[in-house]
Structure 1
Amino acid sequence: MNDQIDILEDETPLEDDDALEGADDEGDADVEAEAAESEETEKYVAESTGDVTQIYLNEIGHSPLLTPDQERALARRVVQGDFEARQKMIEHNLRLVVNIAKHYINRGMTLLDLIEEGNIGLMHALEKFDPERGFRFSTYATWWIRQSIERAIMNQSRTIRLPVHVIKELNVYLRAQRHLEAHLGHEPSFEDIAHLVGKDVDDVRRVMGLNERVASLDAPLDIDPMLTIGESIPDDQHDGPETILQNAEIERYVREWLKQLNEKQRMVIERRYGLNGYEVCTLEDLAASLSLTRERVRQIQIEALEQLRRILRRYGVSRDVVL
């Protein structure tokens, strides 16, 4: 799989606009047929062994990078609301997400999970990208991809189960500890820290004892050295603005993806999962409203989910993120 990831790092862009639409129609038909058969065989082997990550890497490897002119043209269409252009921009930048995500392996999440989180950041970056400012999209998107991945790692791997006010108090003591270490030249005592922050020594000792069981909340984040882990822990009672924006973007994409299903499939998925304003329905209730048998509704649901799975896989998004 490492070889596959290295191949994805090839930064050779498309040479002309025709390449964006697909391969040249000219060529030896037998060679093309053999290549297609080989590709299907590889895909079958990967699927039979359950290597979903390998399947995904194989699929996105067929999307070469865009030239600056192609990128600018597509980005302008995205600004105008062209969903097809948005899809192309995402597809041709999925390799960027993989190249960033692989640097976060062994941080508590699988590569595929890291890619899924990075793809959410990619979609968020595309919503905010302004092609007229002269920056390459990859430069702009990198920060959003890293932010999305690092936030997911923090939320996934942290084992902190402390009240928010305790976390903030611990963060104050850790800052004081770092300040004193810099000025004293040695590790400060609990008494030193208590004196600096004006707190009781026993309180400082008790709260800082919690730090032995958790990662340092005062450590700077990779995405922003001026922001600490403790400061960036979200309030569980309220979604932050980034979460709200990302959820809104996901909902917008879901509406477009559902349009690719036929009417009956879309109706079943919307009502079974409570999408687009519908209440969640049981198979029995849905079967009655559609004048179908329960088993037939279940079959339609399976067919629709399989089609959605193929659509989502192209974007590296887990079904769990959507449904």
Structure 2
Amino acid sequence: MTGMTYRFLVATIVSAALLLSVATAFQPLQPQQTPKRLASVSVQSLVAPTDEKKATIAASWPATGIPNHKILTKAQEQKLGKAIQRARKLRQWLEQHPTQAKIPLDDASIVYALSSSVTSHESSSYHNYTQAQIDTILEKGHQAKQKLMMYNLRLVSKIAKKWAYMTHYKNGDYISNANDGSLTRPSIQEAIQEGIEGLARAVDRYDPTKNWRFSTYATYWITDSIRNCYASASNGHAMRLPSAYHETVARYKSLIKEQYHLYQAAPPMENLAAQMDLKLSRLQKILRLAQPPLSLDGPTSSFASAGKSGIADASTTMLGDILVMGTSEDPEALLEWSMLRGALEHALVTQLSPHERDVVRLRSGLDDGVTRTFRQVSVDCYEGKLSPVQIQVTWVRALKKLRSPEALSKYGWMSYFELCDVDPESVSL
């Protein structure tokens, strides 16, 4: 065998081996040859998510306990909607006519029924219904409502998770905190509960004659309820405000930022109301209602603040301390005392420096009712670093500012001492 013949034979064997390996690699797998590991993987898990972060989020969501029902067809939704609508109209008719339906109606009742949401054909046939027929219609409507809500709970969960994802990652929180929530952000379970309330409203308002899919109609009501839930929590409102109010406030703040960025000044309220197509009184009312409620643990005045020492913060008069408990002999005097104290706090903040404000508070006993000598003020507020003479000089300078004609006429804070039966001269030099 020559060398050329030997090389040709080796090349033929290698080519045959390569063709055999390629044919084996492209041969389809038989059912009995499917690996167990591949057979146990679901189809959904084989679909790669577009965003790796979203895949991690979906895996870390807390269990909501929502059953995994199949999606209703359009014909099934319309059938359930008709049963709900029929039961609702019958219930409205029964509320308008408190008599039993099997008793013949008089002419006035028939005219009143014709003017209601019930059609004339339905109102004329209701008086022939027996109590058993009425109960059957109402029960079918109740069951249809429960079924329509049960089969759309996954829609509520989907929208609630979307809102939780946006709010938690917008604020830099981990998604594991979504189940816990906070004072300013509801948990995922609370958002789902609010969404279920919106779903119930959608079921009551759904009109099958419009030929809409129920999920399309219910998405608006579910989103509206969840949006209100997050808006109320973020604004610190214990009372629920309409979503339009939150949108108006957000737009108002956005316009103020734009105008201030352009003109370096806050625009007039009239101009903002005109840009928002609202009356000035309407805008002022919305802004007033959107203010967060006052806390009983908060100070009586927004101007109540101490200086560098911070002593006044610990003993500032709280709103809960001056509220009328039970019966009060003179609530007007209590209100006047609160207003004068607010004027005094305003004068202290606007007229005095932080150092002078601390000296006046401790020397006069405005926070705890205990007056102090100059030496005690130096020890309590400045740890003895200032001499009593320096405290006295500061005290005199502060009183001159507060007793100036401008301060007395503008704030009238000296009336606070008169109301409390305290002689201002007794705490002076």
Do the structures match in fold with TM over 0.5?
no
Larger Rg: 2
User: TM-score when scaled to structure 2?
Assistant: 0.29
User: TM-score when scaled to structure 1?
Assistant: 0.38
